[in-house]
Structure 1
Amino acid sequence: MTKQKLIKRLKGYYPMERLHAFVTFPLMLAYAAYKNPFADVFFLLYGLLLCIVILMQGQHYWKLKLYRLLDKDFDQEKNLAVFRNSKKLNLVLIALIPIIFGIQIYGNDWQVVPGNLIFWGILANAFGVLEHINYYNRQLMIDNASDVAYLLRNKKLKIASLAKDLKDNEL
């Protein structure tokens, strides 16, 4: 992919990730919290918060990749440390998912009640886990012809760009 095509692509990725991190998911979280008793949506709110945290990391990463291509300065060492620490934080947050689920079930007398949006909570938490994998392990998002060609040619998912950058110690 040419530098100009990559810049164009990142100029779409970065604002979209930023929109979801700072508007879409926070609005969903606020709406769910406002419209439902806390005990019924605790697990859902946790999943949405997990998504927000990881999407904030993603939008920051795409911003830095765009800055690199546009020759804008940024503190690489500081940002590498941010992503390394964020990865650890994500793993802790992901490890807490079963505990948060247990608290939700306990709050509903050990019953899965359809009205408490537990299914949506499972989806939100699963999406958060998939976002973490997408950024820090394997690229799950296949949204262009070169991604499809890579998958067909190699019969496996690409290593995530952020995972490569952390391994190479360079953004």
Structure 2
Amino acid sequence: MQKRVKKKLVSLYTGELFAVFIFALMWVLYILLFEWSVPYLTSYSSLYAFILLEFILLQGSYYWYLKLKQIQNHELVLLPDRQLRTFANLKRVNEGLLLIGVFVSIYQIISKPIEFYWFVFLFLFAVIEHINYYYVRLSYQTVEDIKELKRQKGFRRSRLAKELDSFLK
């Protein structure tokens, strides 16, 4: 059982970190290789949404790394208060940054720039990742995960959300 949990945590931790690096690499490569992509990828709004997405993905990777370290040390408890306080603060920072993103969206709708749809895609991706980590588990990648979703008849609180709930009580 513990071996399976370790494998899952390694997959989650490295998968999120890999996504951060691959997204950044692809961003730069597209700018360098495809001239048509420059207005979309170098606009302030698209850069804002992209950096926000990367920031949230890094938080997820860090969380899964901490959980992996706990399992490796045979600790099956909540994260320490110091780390949970960090995640509670990151959640508030994210929500502030997402609120700024809403205002950027409104500005984008009014001005109708060329990069509007790219910004919306990135911004919604960031919103979904924030919800996935801090509120409700939205990611179901394996057949077992999907069977679990059907069994529980709906979404459940994310692991980090549960830990933050117990910390903030």
When normalised by structure 1's length, the TM-score is 0.81
CA distance in 2 between partners of 1:82 and 1:71 (Å): 21
Deviation at 1:48, TM superposition (A): 0.6
Which of 75, 80, 87 matches 1:83? 87
Matched, 1:16 2:15: yes
CA distance in 2 between partners of 1:117 and 1:78 (Å): 40
* 2:39–2:115 contact (8 Å) kept in structure 1: no
Check 1:162–1:46 CA distance in 2 against 1; reply closer, same or farther (3 A cut). Answer: same
Deviation at 1:102, TM superposition (A): 4.1
Q: Secondary structure at the match of 2:61?
A: helix
Number of matched pairs:
161
CA distance in 2 between partners of 1:32 and 1:42 (Å): 16
* 1:46–1:100 contact (8 Å) kept in structure 2: no
What's the Cα RMSD here?
2.6
Unaligned 5+ segments in structure 1 are none
CA distance in 1 between partners of 2:7 and 2:42 (Å): 42
Partner of 2:6: 7
CA distance in 2 between partners of 1:39 and 1:6 (Å): 38
Residues 37-46 or 75-84, more deviating? 37-46
Partner of 2:59: 57
Deviations 1:71-98 (A, max 9, x none): 089x822211110000000100111112
Identity of aligned residues (%): 29
Check 1:122–1:31 CA distance in 2 against 1; reply closer, same or farther (3 A cut). Answer: farther
Check 1:79–1:7 CA distance in 2 against 1; reply closer, same or farther (3 A cut). Answer: same
Unaligned 5+ segments in structure 2 are none
